[in-house]
Amino acid sequence: MGTPDNGFPDDTDGDGVPDGGPLRHAVRLPPRPGLSVAWPSWVPESVAESLRGAGVQAPWTHQAEGAELAHAGHDVVVATGTASGKSLVYQLPVLSRFATDPRATALYLSPTKALAADQLRALTALGLDGVRPAAFDGDTPKEERDWARRNARWIFSNPDMLHRSLLPRHGRWAGFLRRLSYVVLDECHTYRGVFGSHVALLLRRLLRVATRYGARPTLVLASATVAEPAAFASRLTGRDVVAVTRDGSPSAGRTVALWEPPLLPELMGENGAPVRRPAAAESARMLADLVVEGARTLAFVRSRRGAELTALGAQRAVVDVDPELVPRIAAYRGGYLPEERRALESALAAGELLGVATTNALELGVDVAGLDAVVVAGFPGTRASFWQQAGRAGRARDEALVVLVARDDPMDTYLVNHPQALLGAPVESCVLDPSNPYVLAPQLVCAAAELPLTGHDVETVFGGEPARAVLDELVEDGVLRRRPAGWFWPSTREQPAASVDIRGSGLGQVAVVESDTCRMLGTVEAGSAPATAHPGAVYLHRGESYVVESLDLEAGVAMVRAEAPDWRTDARSTSDVEIVAVRGHRQLGPVQVCFGDTRVTSQVVAYQRRAPDGTVLETVPLELPAQELDTRAVWYSIDEQALADAGIRTARIPGALHAAEHAAIGLLPLFAICDRWDIGGMSTALHPQTGLPTVFVHDGHPGGAGLAERGHAVLADWLAATRSAIAGCECRAGCPSCVQSPKCGNGNVPLDKVGAVAVLDIVIAALDRERS
């Protein structure tokens, strides 16, 4: 499902706001007929017959176009809507090649195990002889992995296994790699930011090893609708890729509603701010109502905890109406054990579950047929992800409902009150930077361990000069050895891939273990563990509450006990930003605008126990180690006299800057493909290096992910939207919908809403003068 051309096209119905209630906007997207063509002449009848038996009578136009390109040996990306049948684009050339070449092999990579398992099930159901597909992921038992390596022709895996197992042991896979004809990259739009940069270099490692074995596989990429798909796919793979974007599949009619939960006058939030009914609670109510009506519904939420709470809330809501519906509602999220995930996936596919609250783990193309509705609890960070989630509804070609429930957040508030920014704007470009030294260095080490790196490899595969600079440092540090023939990994050492995390912070995972039973409940990312799994934190798993007893970051273990306290916990932290190098500087009258390298030091110093209504019951000090992050930031500094002239005296400066910082972080995802948890910030009335009141917004990943750089490039538009969100909020002194942040380490103190508007007016005026 893609965005309408302008958000309010002539053939939509019922757009507008019927009253001043929580429904801010509604628009009906009309159904679209499908355009089919004949099977390509090169498709064997046995393959076509199996596909017809699975319900595919003929390919849609984009399926045939993409399959023709791949069959002819062109690298291709198919960027069409959700449920448009992109799988057929790679199934046709791969299965046809298998039918004519009994030795050919193929590799399928997806970002999630669930998607790979779903595609494997669909392929197996075709019942074709000689295909021999097999899963190869972290859940695959050793004996099945061994069988797959020796016998499988089509491996279904993910980047993690390619990185940690297949490439480091490529000699054991020589037979498979020598005959490798196709590499499929499903849902490739997810490969963005730091993870995408790792995957880009991982693909270069794969193609380099395949070349050593004499293979040059054709690449077939499938993507949701993204901006400039050919350019993105080419950056990702390092090869020229042709894009297929004209969607020939039919689409069901959908009504898209933008919903802002009402303010709760009887409750006051942090520091007396007004609060809205939480998006998770509103979504739980909607999920329950839809399940009671018999509508198969997915509710997408932003966090693992949110998935648990939404499912639990929906179960409680239906118990008095029909207790038999309670087991037909469940949560699905990352961190579950493999057997739990598989059971939930099977129950969902079989229709045993009516309502599922899920993280974006089910955003991707797992085949869930017949969904009637999708509830999106909070803008998912990008327009591309929103349309991907929305497209899960209506797969049965009946009318479907999509509801975006706004969180108490600047971005969500802005979008539901400026619907054209969501429904009428194009989807974002995917940002990745394979030259990021924090990504490039470990990937080059892994590549050298697989095969010694030559000068030709450095120039043609890994980017030339940036790679040479990183290699010089690796040699100087003794990590690699330089010889006339190239760069070598010392053979006496273990393979480095096991210590390189291609996802998240790079700090690995922390296991959450129940102390009484020693049962592992799940995992949390080590980088976020001090804030989410600190001693005393309340941890949720599948609707059950636990309290963290201890956190050992070195051992990677958090011990918890089963307990259901009547409070929740919020971490409190301090942070500082050091400017390491300035890469861009503009002096605009009283305003300085900069972009560069920074070192961010943060430390969780306490946590608060809060009652269900948000009241602080107790603040408990913590002693956890400080964490350093070398990353990139955009910042602006303002002369204190300019602030005084705008009515912001010295005492108000901290609150005005702090509020402007929070809101800007909340709105950056409108301009860069990220969410607010990918970025951070810090504001100070006097920064020791600038000597001025300064606001920083920085990437949340080592080396940066291109987000601050993007913010620097669009600073005027970004800050203008930020100002609009603050000024347009109906609260008096600031609330979560405008300037309060859910991850503020200072408890959202101090904040000055009026002062934030004045700060932004100063910077915007300076930027406008520069543009004029």
pLDDT tens for residues 575-595? 999 999 999 999 999 999 999
**How confident is the model over 691-716, as a mean pLDDT?**
92
Give the per-residue pLDDT at 611: 86
Residue 746 phi/psi, 5-degree rounding, is: -105, 15
Give the per-residue pLDDT at 125: 94
726 — pLDDT class (breaks 50, 70, 90): very high
Classify the phi-psi angles of 232: left when phi > 0, otherwise alpha if psi is within -120 to 50, otherwise beta.
Answer: alpha
Hey, is 705 helix, strand or coil? coil
- Asked if 209 and 236 sit in the same domain, the reply is yes
d(CA 169, CA 165): 6
Which of 476, 499, 522 is the C-terminal boundary of a domain?
A: 499
d(CA 301, CA 293): 21
**Residue 117, both tokens:** 């398992």
Give the per-residue pLDDT at 675: 66
Residue 331 phi/psi, 5-degree rounding, is: -100, 150
- Which stretch of DSSP H or E encloses residue 595? strand 591-610
d(CA 453, CA 208): 10
44 has pLDDT over 90: yes
- Which stretch of DSSP H or E encloses residue 291? helix 279-292
The string of pLDDT tens digits covering residues 286-312 is 999 999 999 999 999 988 888 999 999
- Asked if 528 and 582 sit in the same domain, the reply is no
Give the per-residue pLDDT at 368: 65
Give the per-residue pLDDT at 4: 35
Which of 225, 244, 263 is the C-terminal boundary of a domain?
A: 244
Q: Based on the structure, what is the number of domains in the chain?
A: 5
The residues facing 548 across adjacent strands are 560
Does residue 40 form part of some domain?
Answer: no
Report how far apart, in Å, the C-alpha atoms of 350 and of each of 344, 363, 369, 520 are: 10, 18, 9, 28
Domain that holds residue 703: 570-771
735 — pLDDT class (breaks 50, 70, 90): confident
- Asked if 363 and 477 sit in the same domain, the reply is no
Classify the phi-psi angles of 351: left when phi > 0, otherwise alpha if psi is within -120 to 50, otherwise beta.
Answer: left
Q: Between 156 and 398, where is the model more confident?
A: 156
Does residue 162 form part of some domain?
Answer: yes
- Asked if 373 and 276 sit in the same domain, the reply is yes
d(CA 92, CA 552): 50
Give the per-residue pLDDT at 16: 53
- Asked if 698 and 631 sit in the same domain, the reply is yes
Among 444, 430, 1, 62, which Cα is nearest to 233's?
Answer: 430
Q: Between 91 and 612, where is the model more confident?
A: 91
Which of 499, 523, 545 is the C-terminal boundary of a domain?
A: 499
The string of pLDDT tens digits covering residues 323-372 is 999 999 999 887 777 778 778 878 887 889 999 999 877 766 566 656 89
2 — pLDDT class (breaks 50, 70, 90): very low
Beta strands 23-29; 679-684: pairing state: unpaired
- Asked if 237 and 124 sit in the same domain, the reply is yes
- Asked if 460 and 515 sit in the same domain, the reply is no
113 has pLDDT over 60: yes
Does residue 10 form part of some domain?
Answer: no
The CATH number assigned to the domain holding 490 equals 1.10.10
Does residue 472 form part of some domain?
Answer: yes
Does residue 15 form part of some domain?
Answer: no
Does residue 765 form part of some domain?
Answer: yes
The string of pLDDT tens digits covering residues 210-257 is 999 999 999 999 987 778 899 999 999 999 999 999 999 998 899 999
- Asked if 209 and 296 sit in the same domain, the reply is no
- Asked if 225 and 262 sit in the same domain, the reply is no
Least reliable range by pLDDT among 23-27, 123-127, 222-226: 222-226
Does residue 431 form part of some domain?
Answer: no
20 has pLDDT over 80: no
Give the per-residue pLDDT at 263: 81
Among 738, 616, 770, 715, which Cα is nearest to 666's?
Answer: 738
Cβ-contact 298, 371 below 8 angstroms: yes
- Which stretch of DSSP H or E encloses residue 92? helix 87-100
- Asked if 584 and 680 sit in the same domain, the reply is yes
Does residue 18 form part of some domain?
Answer: no
- Asked if 392 and 353 sit in the same domain, the reply is yes
Count of positions (residues) in the chain: 772
The CATH number assigned to the domain holding 361 equals 3.40.50.300
Q: How many degrees, rounded to 5, is the angle at CA 614 between CA 611 and CA 619? A: 70
d(CA 381, CA 386): 8
Average per-residue pLDDT for the chain: 90
Place of tokens 């100087």: 476
- Asked if 271 and 336 sit in the same domain, the reply is yes
